[in-house]
Amino acid sequence: MRKDLFKPFWRSENGATAVEFAMVGPIFFALLFSMLETGWMMAKTAILDEAVAKASRQIYTGQAPTKAALEAAICNEAFVFSDCINNINVETTVISDFSSPPTTAVECLDSSDSTFTPTVTYSTGADSQIMFMRVCVTTEVMTPGLGVGLALGKTDTGRFQLVSSTAFMNEPF
C-alpha cells in the first residue's frame, strides 16, 4: 500500500467544522437544556411557594378548609403542574414553637403509584396555635439525566418531588 494514497485526506480541511461540532455540540446542548430546566424548576418552585402561602392564609384566618379543599386551592394557584390534584400531598401539624419543625421526612403522593397512601396528619389547629404546613407535589422534568434532574428527590416511580413548607400562628378566632 502506498503512503501517497492517504496524503490528500490528511491535508484536506473539508468537514473540519463538522468534526468540531460533533465534539462540542453535545456539551453545549447539555448545558443549554440544563439551564432551561433549572430555570423552569425554579419557576415551578416559586409558584408552589406562593400557592402554599395563599392557602395557609385560609387556615390561620379561621376558614378551616378540608384537606381536599386546601389541595384544590393550591392546585388552582399552582397552574404549572400537570395533574396536580392527583400528585399533591398536604400535611399540617401543630408544633410547640417556630424553631421545632417536624423531624420526619415529607411524604409525596404519586398518581402513577396506586399502592401508596401517605400517612400524614391534617389538622387546622385551634386559635393561637403554631402550625407547620408541608406540601409536596410530584412532577416530571424535561431532562432527567442532566442538571437539576440529577439533584431532585425521586419517588419510587421516577417522578420528581418539589416541597414547600411554611409555619404560621393561627389568629384568635
Q: What is the mean pLDDT of the chain?
A: 83
Residue 55 within a domain: yes
Instruction: Supply the pLDDT for residue 134.
Output: 92
How confident is the model over 146-160, as pLDDT tens digits?
Answer: 777 777 777 777 788
Q: Could you give the number of structural domains in the chain? A: 1
Q: How far apart are CA 111 and CA 92, in angstroms?
A: 21
The grid cell for 124 is 387546622
In a domain, 26, yes or no: yes
- As a whole number of angstroms, the distance between CA 10 and CA 34 comes to 37
Structural domain harbouring 60: 15-169
Task: Tell me if residue 4 falls in helix, strand or coil.
Answer: helix
In the chain, which residue ranges form alpha helices assigned H by DSSP? 7-11, 16-60, 67-77, 148-151
**Assigned domain for 142 exists:** yes
Q: What is the length of the chain?
A: 173
In a domain, 9, yes or no: no
For residue 135, what is its C-alpha cell? 406540601
- Quick count: other Cβ atoms within 10 Å of Cβ 12? 9
Residue 29, all three cell numbers: 446542548
Radius of gyration of the chain (CA): 25
pLDDT digits (tens, 9 = 90+) for 94-143: 998 888 888 887 878 776 666 556 667 888 888 889 999 999 998 888 77
pTM exceeds 0.95 for this model: no
pLDDT tops 90 at residue 52: yes
pLDDT digits (tens, 9 = 90+) for 5-18: 666 666 677 777 88
Q: Does a structural domain hold residue 4?
A: no
